[in-house]
Amino acid sequence: MQTAEIHRRWLDFFEKRGHTVVPSASLVSDDPSLMFTVAGMVPFVPYLSGLVPAPYPRATSVQKCIRTNDIEEVGKTPRHGTFFQMCGNFSFGDYFKSDAIKFAWELLTTSEEDGGLGFAAKDLWVTIYEEDDEALALWQQHSTLPDERIQRLGKDTNYWSTGQPGPAGPCSEIFFDLGPEYGIDGGPATDDDRYVEIWNLVFMQYQVADVKSKTDFTILGELPKKNIDTGMGLERVAFIKQGVQNMYEIDQVRPVLDRAAALAGKVYGADHADDVRLRVIADHVRSGLMLIADGVTPSNEGRGYILRRLLRRVILSMRLLGFEGSSFAELFPVSRDAMKGAYPAVERDFEFIARAAYAEEKTFLRTLASGIQILETAVDTAKTGAVAVPGDTAFLLHDTHGFPIELTLEIAEEAGVAVDRAVFGELMQEQRDRAKADAKAKKGQRADLSVYKELRGLGETLFTGYDELTHESRVLGLVVDGVSVVEAREGEIAEVVLAETSLWAESGGQDSDQGLIVGDGFEAEVLDVQKPVPGLVVHTVKVTIGAIGIDQRAETRVDADYRRGATQAHSGTHIVHAALREVLGSNAHQAGSYNKAGYLRLDFTHSEALSSETKSEIEEISNLAIRSDFEVVTREMGIDEAKALGAMALFGEKYGDRVRVVDIGGPWSRELCAGTHVSSSSEVGIISLISESSVGSTNRRVESLVGIEAFRNFAAERAIVQQLTSGLKVPRTELVGRVQDLGAQLKAAEKKIAAFEAAKLAQRVPELIADAESIGATRVVLASLGSVASPDDLRGLALQVRDRLASEAGVVVIAGEAGGKPVVIAATTEAARTAGVRAGDLAKLGAKVLGGGGGGKPDLAQGGGTDPGKIDEALAEIRRSLAG
């Protein structure tokens, strides 16, 4: 049974039983505490927790998920994958345990001919929470399982909670028995790989508090509305139904594995280590495909870093298989074809996906080449006397260049040298500890959204600001320091929830409005407006007069000047986007934006820097559109109708069934957008591009000033030009040439000064040779030269002195201060290196004293630091090392 067929049968089964079919949410989670959608229930958390009223009593979905916490286990076990699909059925206060168990047993054991999944009852086991007698009785009622195949387990495996105060409850898990050839008898209680968990039924029935750990908490009582959250692993069921050994061999994954094996000249199943690498490749390519399809692009932080890590592990695994060229152009189309049946977007957007993936591969292959050079240098050094490749070098390769330790070990082993695993392990642990501390700190900073649960239950906040800047409403709720209160007094910072508001909450790239909330006897300055949960607008205010109380009438007043600037910037963003596409082509898609009064920032898909001429052309087209006074029209319609009109949906963004379409000049700019806008393009005023930069291998960013801020910027630049023309006594038309001439004169003067300084230093060579001391059989020059123009001067002098000592074992270490920072240069003759003295070690030793780092080749190396006052101490430490 194909994976897509299991997917279809799941949704069909539950739709027929009254469940609303909910499309998969994006892999990019709306939950601010999560980087990705890590489980099928994540999109439903607001409903399951009661934070937001559920729009339907029961639902079902097949949700895309990404987890990378067990990334090192991928390929090693039958069921660890970074991308997976979770089939779920959910009840929000509707049905409970009985129906959840009945539905699960019915779908699993109904024959394939009758629309079920066709599992034999003899192959299934069930676990329940040890104290859940109700679940036991229901399994006995609805299934044909003998009692010995319903096992009671403890809280650590069969009790679900978020780890925070809130809903919790027992769960029941369903396992498939692969058979005696796969492991020991005894059922899931043995925790043996023979028993594969395929479905988990969570019964949310209790409210818990005082949560100390997964198993230590206080049950306050039963929830007023009991919920059901279940999850069946689609890949796990697929590999069982398809009769293959693991999830990497199912129809949606195996084609990539086979293509990778063909490229590398390997046979899957012939070698365990190669098999693991092939599985990693197949899994990570699919994950990369799906992440990019949901708008994630490679970067050095956040979600982009996770994607980058996945893609680089593919490249490294291909290299370990013996394939050193580019492979993504072969692998990604195969994954696209395997996944497009279930997710058509991967085919529709493949041009963008491919461009992002291929650019990352090209970049990393260059990085890999430089890392190989570092490793080969370390290996050569190890061969000449060191015991092993240093652990800090292995860590540098891992942390900076993306080398897994396995690659470093393999290359070192081929060269016949070891790697200092102990030091590498210590550095890795230090990094993990820092990451944990950072994650803990961030977790502590997250708001407890439970305070908004009751407020959201009062209804959705209505935004009236499209048509008016002031609106009279009513205070529904007040929050101070995370706690609901009945009154906020003068001087306090409070969060205010109103029934309606004319103040825009930050969203869609548009910053929140500024303004006031006023009422009988009080006034509050609006500091921020946000939507902490869907549908609820929260105003953060400082109470400046009187006190705000629950149920009081309150008028929202938008700062008209700020809103005008914000609408100018938001409409300006649409105009710049249209101009970019006109100049660069339809492949230039918006990939993120931010706008506020007087400023806009637009990220877009493009891999090359824009020339000055291109930037000028984009700026001119934008301002011509403003001069053309295009009408700006906003309409609300269904999402399908909007797309049929050609309205652009921003890549990776999520939209509901009803959307707002903004036209500027009709089809010239037509986008889905909920923000506030001007009524005609001339109201934008002026657009002045002030910068263009890279924000990733496939994304660029333009920034622009808008309206009065653009005018002020032009005025400031005009003033600078006037000052320069006056000071240099040249007309404006000759200013650029005059400045260039002055620059050339300055450069020539600096060159003469540098030559003079170098000659002056060279005169010290005889003096330094004369002052050389003998340490054993080695002539050693140790000198501090004070302030120098640049480290190059010290390097040149060290090489001259070394050349004069070339006929003997000689070591030269010269230090000085360049640009306020200490620098140490070490150089060795061939005879000194033969005796075991390496310049890199000396530079590193000196730099450590100076409060920095250093290194280099055995014959020449450089170190630096932060404390010039310790130069003499650094030279003394190097002398002690040489004497030792």
CB atoms within 10 A of CB 55: 10
The alpha carbon of residue 154 and the mean position of all alpha carbons in its chain are separated, in whole angstroms, by 36
**CA–CA separation, 29 and 534 (whole Å):** 13
Question: For residues 107 and 84, what is the distance between their CA atoms, to the nearest angstrom?
Answer: 20
Tell me the helices (H) and strands (E) count for the chain, helix number first: 26, 35
Query: Who contacts 5 (Cβ-Cβ below 8 Å, separation ≥6)?
Result: none
Task: Give the whole-angstrom CA distance, residue 637 versus residue 632.
Answer: 16
Q: Please classify residue 288 by burial: count the beta carbons closer than 10 Å to its beta carbon, then call 0-12 exposed, 13-18 middle and 19+ buried.
A: buried
Beta pairing class for 522-533 and 515-519: antiparallel
**Token couple for 476:** 């529904």
- Do 404 and 310 form a contact (C-beta atoms < 8 A)? no
User: Which residues are within 8 A (CB) of 166 and not within 5 positions of it... i.e. 6 or more apart?
Assistant: 49, 207, 208, 450
Could you tell me if 90 and 54 are in contact, meaning their C-beta atoms sit under 8 angstroms apart? no
CA 76 – CA 232 distance, rounded (Å):
22
Pick from 27, 4, 17, 197: which is nearest to 89 by CA?
A: 17
Residue 373 Ramachandran class (φ > 0 left, ψ -120 to 50 alpha, else beta): alpha
How far is it, in rounded angstroms, from Cα 587 to Cα 606?
A: 8
Residue 483 phi/psi, 5-degree rounding, is: -125, 135
Element (H, E) at 561: helix 560-584
Q: Does 673 carry a binding-site annotation?
A: yes
- Residue 189 per-residue DSSP state: G
d(CA 178, CA 158): 22
Which residues are CB-neighbours of 449 under 8 A, at least 6 positions away? 51, 532, 533
Beta bridge partner(s), residue 488: 548
Q: Which stretches does DSSP call E strand in 665-709?
A: 669-672, 687-694, 699-706
Residue positions counted in the chain: 884
CA 764/CA 759 separation, integer angstroms: 9
Largest CA distance in the chain: 100
CB 495 within 8 A of CB 518: no
Answer whether 278's CB lies under 8 Å from 261's CB.
Answer: yes
* Cα 700 versus chain centre, distance: 17
Q: Is 677 annotated as a binding residue?
A: yes
Angle, CA 758 vertex, CA 756 and CA 760 arms, to 5°:
70
User: In Å, how far are 299, 389, 402, 696 from 310, measured between CA atoms?
Assistant: 12, 26, 11, 16
What is the per-residue DSSP string for 122-180? Answer: GGEEEEEETT-HHHHHHHHHH----GGGEEEE-HHHHEEE-SSSEEEEEEEEEEEE--G
List CB contacts of 113: < 8 A, sequence separation 6 or more. Answer: none
Q: Are 717 and 374 in contact (CB under 8 A)?
A: no
Known binding-site positions = 570, 574, 673, 677
Known binding-site positions for Zn(2+) = 570, 574, 673, 677
